[in-house]
Amino acid sequence: MAVTDEAITKIKDMIISGKLSAGDRLPPEKELSEKLGLSRSSLREAVKALEIIRVLDVRRGDGTYVTSLEPQLLSEAMTFIVDLHQDKSILDIFAVRRILEPAAAAIAATRITPEQITALRATMENINDETSVESLVDHDLVFHELITAAADNSYLASVLNALSSSTVRARIWRGLTQEKAVDRTLAEHTAIIEALERGDADLAKSLLTVHISGVEHWLRQAL
Amino acid sequence: MAVTDEAITKIKDMIISGKLSAGDRLPPEKELSEKLGLSRSSLREAVKALEIIRVLDVRRGDGTYVTSLEPQLLSEAMTFIVDLHQDKSILDIFAVRRILEPAAAAIAATRITPEQITALRATMENINDETSVESLVDHDLVFHELITAAADNSYLASVLNALSSSTVRARIWRGLTQEKAVDRTLAEHTAIIEALERGDADLAKSLLTVHISGVEHWLRQAL
DNA sequence: GCATCATAAACATCCGACCATTAGACTTGC
DNA sequence: GCAAGTCTAATGGTCGGATGTTTATGATGC
């Protein structure tokens, strides 16, 4: 194994074993490189790799720290990866979403707060036929993130958010607007909000399944 | 943004835009660094970061290539990340598994092949009270991977495999053996195989839910 | 045709220098 | 005493080049 990979493994192990905890500061690059027995250049490659997957947080002029390792950071790292995979088999990704998101909605229905309902309704305002694709994507992102957030499981939210990154959504919404399917999508969103508000987990789950399947169906014929 | 991060973004964009496709070879480090306007050292940090998330494949003495970007590679990258998160909220991770794996089993029940059934049974052989924890973990890994593989959705399998990495499993099995719960776990595995063999999707789904919930329950009281 | 070897290309590693930024100590002025 | 500004040491960011190691490839000889 290359020295850089060894360094990555060593740092990873230090975190898993608890020698390094969330928020801890690593020794300066020069010192750590000597300790691990490699050059600063090679160590920096290792640190950069761990930085991109949100394990380390490098602050210039200050030092390098272990991130909070919160689930949300998993989402960022996963999104980066999924963005690169999306063209390969977007339908497979959608199939996973179709499993997770209805389940998330069912959980959300049992514990969503009035404030979250209000926030959901807010995503529906000021949307009409002239709304730009970018704006539609933004609202759609917030809508679905609010639902997954209401399910109160950060990992569930992370995986879902990564699987439906804004890059993926953008391409889909572009298609939806061309197909004049925006109205239908918004109507489904409205129905979902109402089900959540009534605490009807079963209906919310089914509505989400229908909602996602609809987009999936459009995708299937568009490809 | 630092030059290294710019390089990461540029390479990523080249892949997303299609200028670089799976299997393509990148220009030599020296040439690419000049093209992107940064030093070779900095470029190498970018390449290393993309290598660890399985986007680039660096072959010493040969060159650097874009990986196949197959879903399985997503799993490797995700596993690396999840390993670092596991202590934070393993119960949340289990909750996601409890959603995904029963759904995967239901799909698997409709399309599993006799060969896959045979392979599943094979994971049950030679297991008894003296079997080491490491061996139990291995068999358990194969058992669940076979089910997710039978569902025939690489992304579903990738996410599931990452969420139940061997590191996570190892700790759980250590607990299970202490609790003398190995027999029960194996009995549940047997029941799942039979349901899959009969093509009973509904039962397979429920059995998986029960199976995972059982472990979840043990975990909840152990923590 | 096949095995062996020589060569060049490409990545791996290291070193040392210098730049840019930051946190924190310090000074200043009130 | 306190607030604002300043200075400095620590730390990461970037670079260029030198050298080692591995691999692919073509030449060579049989």
Long-range contacts of B190-199 (CB under 8 A, 24+ apart): B190/B124, B192/B105, B192/B147, B193/B117, B193/B120, B193/B121, B193/B124, B195/B105, B195/B109, B196/B105, B196/B108, B196/B109, B196/B112, B196/B117, B196/B120, B196/B147, B196/B150, B197/B112, B197/B117, B198/B109, B199/B109, B199/B110, B199/B112
Handedness of CA A99, A105, A110, A112 (dihedral sign): positive
Q: Per residue in B134-185, pLDDT tens?
A: 888 888 889 999 999 999 999 999 999 988 876 677 777 777 777 777 788 8
Q: How far is A219 from chain B (nearest CA, A)?
A: 17
| CA separation for the pair B154, B149 (Å, rounded) | 7
Burial of B141 (0-12, 13-18, 19+ CB in 10 A): middle
Interface touch B71/A82, C-beta < 8 Å: no
pLDDT > 90 in chain B, percent:
62
Interface touch A163/B155, C-beta < 8 Å: yes
Interface touch B49/A52, C-beta < 8 Å: yes
- pLDDT band of residue B25 (cuts 50, 70, 90) is very high
Q: Per residue in B97-118, pLDDT tens?
A: 999 999 999 999 999 999 999 9
Written as one letter, the residue type at A6 is E
Question: Is strand D in 7 Å reach of the CB of A1?
Answer: no
- A185: nearest Cα among A212, A151, A147: A212
Q: Which residue has the higher pLDDT, B127 or A195?
A: A195
Interface touch B92/A41, C-beta < 8 Å: no
Q: Per residue in A154-166, pLDDT tens?
A: 999 999 998 887 6
Question: Is strand D in 7 Å reach of the CB of A28?
Answer: yes
Please tell me which residue of chain B has the smallest CA distance to A101: B99
Residue A74: predicted pLDDT: 85
| CA separation for the pair A1, A138 (Å, rounded) | 44
Q: Which residue has the higher pLDDT, A183 or B104?
A: B104
Which of A68, A92, A111, A164 should be substituted to probe chain B, the one whose Cβ sees the most B Cβ atoms within 10 Å? A92
Interface touch B80/A53, C-beta < 8 Å: yes
**Nearest residue: Cα versus C1' of C21:** A61
Question: Is strand C in 7 Å reach of the CB of A58?
Answer: no
Q: Per residue in B181-196, pLDDT tens?
A: 778 888 999 999 999 9
Q: Which residues of A touch B168 (CB under 8 A)?
A: none
Q: Which residues of A touch B80 (CB under 8 A)?
A: 12, 53
Which of A47, A68, A88 should be substituted to probe chain B, the one whose Cβ sees the most B Cβ atoms within 10 Å? A88
Question: Is strand D in 7 Å reach of the CB of A45?
Answer: no
Question: Is strand D in 7 Å reach of the CB of A29?
Answer: yes
Q: Per residue in A50-103, pLDDT tens?
A: 999 999 999 999 999 999 888 888 888 888 888 887 766 788 888 999 999 999
Q: Which residues of B touch A156 (CB under 8 A)?
A: 92, 95-96, 99
Question: Is strand D in 7 Å reach of the CB of A56?
Answer: no
Domains annotated on chain B, with CATH: 3-66 (1.10.10.10), 72-222 (1.20.120.530)
